[in-house]
Amino acid sequence: MAAVTELGTALRALVDASVSTAVGPEELRAAAAEARRATALLEADRRPPGRLPPLDDPVAFRRVYSPVTGVGSAVAPPLTLRGDPAGGVRAEATLGLLYEGPPGYLHGGMSGLLMDHLLGAAAIHAGLWGMTAHLELDYRGPVPLGVPLVLRGWVERNAGRRTDVAGSIAAADAPDRVLVQATGIFVTPRAEKMDAYFATVTDAAGRHTPPGRPTDATAVQP
Ligand SMILES: CCCCC/C=C\C/C=C\C/C=C\C/C=C\CCCC(=O)SCCNC(=O)CCNC(=O)[C@H](O)C(C)(C)COP(=O)(O)OP(=O)(O)OC[C@H]1O[C@@H](n2cnc3c(N)ncnc32)[C@H](O)[C@@H]1OP(=O)(O)O
């Protein structure tokens, strides 16, 4: 885990530098050669799609390469999710130029990714696992880059396999001024769909490991 986190941290610094650098073409090409060397090192042994990485631990709520929370992911902020005393889940993050949409502000699609994840995690946190069936966002104000943000997700209601969830993004210093407001419907797939989607998913040891238990989620820290 320490090594996965070390590589993820180094890669996040690399991608951040790569989108904010002002060096010339010679330095860019030298950096590209270094990046290709690192890629060759990592390609020496790869897992196929559908096999979970060995460090993913459903019981410990761990997904190390999640694009939102994964400590090993180059593109994840990564968010740390926590139970929110006010209900649901929350995360704090400061996002950089990698995620820029309008100059100086967060890409709207990134808000969608983050909200999808927070809403899904809120459902899981409440013991209600589901896939995103519907996701709706209201963009009320641009989300600034480089300032601490607070992201929240909470369950509104549940009926059978359907869970209605909501969430928000705000600046940490103005938490009541909602910049992005999200609502979503998460649905636990019917058994036939579960089988069709996840029949071949295994853990690192080759055991069948379909999602579906509340613990199959990225960690919500105590
Ligand atoms: C959750 C991720 C899966 C992997 C989990 C594993 C590990 C988790 C790891 C990390 C997770 C951590 C945190 C969570 C983070 C992120 C969450 C991201 C989630 C995703 O990134 S996930 C990918 C995108 N997602 C899809 O790829 C779904 C494609 N889709 C389908 O596969 C089907 O569409 C399905 C299965 C959703 C439903 O199919 P189905 O046949 O099982 O259910 P059915 O249609 O019968 O609906 C039952 C009741 O829900 C109502 N209902 C359904 N859909 C509705 C809609 N759109 N609007 C309004 N109501 C709706 C019906 O009206 C009915 O309601 P009623 O019972 O009252 O009639």
- Domain residue ranges of the chain, discontinuous segments joined by +: 1-222
Predicted complex: ipTM over 0.95: no
Residue 212: per-residue pLDDT: 61
User: Contact at 8 Å (CB) between 52 and 59?
Assistant: no
Statement: residue 215 has pLDDT above 60: no
Any atom of ligand 1 within 6 Å of the Cβ of 140: no
Closest approach atom of ligand 1 to CA 159: 68
Size (the chain), residues? 222
Any atom of ligand 1 within 6 Å of the Cβ of 57: no
Q: How far is the CA of 25 from the centre of ligand 1 (A)?
A: 46
Q: Which two tokens stand for residue 205?
A: 């040891």
Give the lowest-confidence range in 8-12, 44-48, 140-144.
Answer: 44-48
Residue 58: per-residue pLDDT: 57
**CA–CA distance, 168 with 154 (Å, rounded to integer):** 9
> What DSSP line would sit under 96-157, residue for residue?
-GGGBSSTTBB-HHHHHHHHHHHHHHHHHHTT---EEEEEEEEE-S--BTTS-EEEEEEEEE
Closest C-alpha to ligand 1, atom 11: 217
Average pLDDT over the chain, rounded to an integer: 92
CATH architecture of 1-222: Roll (3.10)
Phi, psi of 203 (to 5 degrees): -85, 180
Residue 57: per-residue pLDDT: 72
> What DSSP line would sit under 37-104, residue for residue?
HHHHHHTTS-PPTTB--TT-BTTTTB-TT-TTT-TT-SS-----EEE-TTSSEEEEE---GGGBSSTT
Residue 59: per-residue pLDDT: 52
